[in-house]
Structure 1
Amino acid sequence: MAGNKRNIPEIRNRLREIADETGFEELHSLADELYRNSPVGRAANSSATLTPELAEEIRKYVAEHPTLHQRDVAQEFNVNPGRVSEALNHLV
């Protein structure tokens, strides 16, 4: 069985089957613990949306400050470095 991996629902069901077959009730409790917790929620988006206008501002800023790293530019404009890269590559 080493090559066959079971997914969590299959393991949960098998634990319940074994509990029923053997009368070992603790397996029912263990099976019940094999559920994901409800998601707590995502953090609020704290960076600015990259609009075409903001992308143009970023390109101008980088042209004026060519030695800055993208992470520094990102902090200046409250975006992540990936958005700076998109702006510089004219993807927005």
Structure 2
Amino acid sequence: MATLLPKSNLYVYYDNNKHIVGFLGEMDSYIAGLFVKKEFQTLGIGTQLINHVKELKNSLTLHVYKKNSKALKVYLKNNFVIDAETFDNETDEIEFSMTWKK
């Protein structure tokens, strides 16, 4: 994890057995990654991680692939708005730039 998000602030969500089930990496108000184990998705863990970071920041930005409908739904539910739609030449995917402001 540390090599994937080396300069990020990492916020971790643990289950009752102290196993990591989700984490959010944030770097200079940019959400570099949000991951929740599949069996723990739809339980509000992503929202809790986002809300924690929202308490610390005045605004946040991120990028998400258009085809990642689950993540897009979470971000829209948490009041992020789509600012731009671009094409990622490295992955051949459409990507949204999103922001949230207090």
Give the TM-score normalised by structure 1: 0.27
> Which of the pair is proportionally richer in helix?
1
Tell me: higher relative CO, structure 1 or 2? Use CA pairs within 8 A at least 6 residues apart: 1
Q: Which has the larger radius of gyration?
A: 1
Give the TM-score normalised by structure 2: 0.25
> Which of the pair is proportionally richer in strand?
2
